């Protein structure tokens, strides 16, 4: 039922359904989504007979729910909010997976019992091929919000009901499931469509936010692993000069407790050479030189590096690196010592050619 078709005339809808079932004629005023669905259902279903509803056993349903844990955990609080908002109004709120299998149903006890009696219960498939025209199936099949009122349902068993649903898209852009409402047909309202659309978008936004959070956690873990793999002092500063990250080498060489330096200004414990201190105000700073860090009043000689972290023209912070002088000298000696000269005495052999 399109929102512009309200107020609903249930008897007129029933007459259109009767005309199609009897003569296979589609009324031009019929909702195009419903008309297309009726045409698909006619060869497969008897509109006058109760549908044969496939239902998962408890163990299989539990496996399906476990596989869709994130969807259910995200949708359930929103379903409870909807129920609280509509409590006493005779609405049953349902969550389905991408195959139109009912995962959860919530509502007042009386309406839940009523919809369960006609098949809207966990584990039952509400696809068009099993139930006929209904909003849950149309939302997933047509990938659009849908509302099916009274005799717009192809199977006569559901003529006393209105179903309203909206698809929930996963991060890959494919329908992950659907959220919808089932209620007595006389309670059909166009506002219900907007309500389920808002709920579906809220679930999608929450799923996206949780995915972004997981990705950020992974990136932070990778960053920390990279820092720990670097055999020199590494301090990451934000744009205000506060220490936001450091590696274990920094705590060992500088003799600082991470809990005492993280989140605090670098200058609380460490003083940089003047040229490096000035570079902290340069959004494009990139400096390396020999110098001394003054750590809690004690000088440490070594090789300093300061590199700005930017996003476009915006300064995000700095990365400060430091190697002790003796570490640099050992590295240089190792490299120079590796360039040994060969003499004729190094060539073995006692032949005439040698």
Place of tokens 């006569």: 156
User: CA-CA distance, 351 to 141, in Å (whole number)?
Assistant: 87
Beta strands in 228-345 (DSSP E): 233-238, 243-246, 270-271, 286-295, 298-311, 314-324
What is the pLDDT averaged over residues 307-325? 86
| Residue 176 burial class via C-beta count within 10 angstroms: exposed 0-12, middle 13-18, buried 19 and up | buried
* Per-position DSSP letters for 66-82, written without gaps between them: HHTHHHHHHHHHHHHHH
Output the average pLDDT for the chain.
88
CB 118 within 8 A of CB 180: no
What is the pLDDT averaged over residues 204-220? 91
Domains and CATH numbers, the chain: 3-213 (3.30.450.40), 230-335 (3.30.450.20)
Closest CA to 227 of 204, 244, 207: 244
What is the pLDDT averaged over residues 207-223? 90
In this prediction, residue 157 carries a pLDDT of 96
Closest CA to 152 of 8, 348, 258: 8
In this prediction, residue 6 carries a pLDDT of 65
Name 321's Cβ contacts closer than 8 Å, sequence gap at least 6: 230, 232, 233, 234, 235, 304, 305, 306, 307
Name 128's Cβ contacts closer than 8 Å, sequence gap at least 6: 37, 40, 41, 100, 134, 137, 138, 141
Give 248-303 pLDDT, tens digit per residue. Answer: 998 989 888 888 889 999 889 989 888 888 888 776 778 888 888 888 888 889 88
**Which neighbouring-strand residues pair with 233?**
322
Give 170-181 pLDDT, tens digit per residue. Answer: 888 888 999 999
């Amino acid at each position: 039922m399109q929102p512009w078709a309200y107020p609903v005339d249930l008897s007129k809808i029933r007459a259109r359904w009767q005309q199609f079932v009897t003569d296979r004629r589609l009324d031009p005023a019929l909702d195009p989504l419903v008309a297309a669905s009726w045409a698909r259902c006619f060869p497969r279903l008897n509109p006058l007979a109760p549908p044969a509803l496939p239902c998962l056993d408890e163990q299989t349903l539990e496996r399906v729910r476990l596989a869709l844990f994130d969807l259910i955990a995200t949708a359930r609080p929103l379903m409870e909010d909807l129920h609280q908002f509509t409590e006493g109004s005779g609405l049953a709120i349902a969550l389905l997976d991408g195959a139109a299998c009912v995962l959860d149903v919530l509502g007042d006890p009386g309406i839940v019992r009523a919809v369960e009696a006609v098949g809207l219960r966990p584990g039952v498939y509400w696809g068009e091929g099993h139930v006929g025209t209904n909003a849950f199936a149309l939302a997933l099949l047509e990938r659009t919000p849908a509302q099916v009122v009274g005799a717009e349902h192809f199977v006569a068993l559901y003529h006393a009901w209105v179903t309203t649903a909206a698809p929930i898209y996963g991060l890959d852009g494919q329908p992950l499931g659907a959220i919808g409402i089932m209620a007595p047909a006389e309670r059909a309202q166009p506002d219900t469509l907007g309500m389920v659309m808002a709920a579906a978008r809220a679930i999608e936004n929450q799923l996206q936010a949780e995915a972004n959070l997981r990705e950020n956690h992974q990136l932070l873990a990778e960053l920390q692993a990279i820092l720990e793999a670097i055999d020199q002092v590494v301090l990451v500063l934000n744009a205000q000069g506060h220490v936001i990250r450091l590696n274990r080498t920094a705590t060992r060489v500088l003799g600082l407790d991470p809990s005492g330096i993280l989140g605090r200004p670098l200058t609380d414990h460490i003083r940089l050479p003047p040229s490096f201190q000035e570079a902290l105000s340069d959004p494009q700073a990139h400096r390396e030189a020999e110098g001394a860090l003054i750590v809690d009043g004690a000088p440490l000689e070594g090789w300093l590096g300061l590199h700005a972290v930017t996003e476009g023209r915006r300064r995000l912070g700095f990365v400060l690196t430091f190697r002790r002088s003796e570490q640099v000298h050992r590295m240089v000696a190792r490299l120079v010592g590796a360039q040994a000269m060969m003499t004729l005495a190094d060539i073995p052999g006692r032949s005439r050619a040698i």
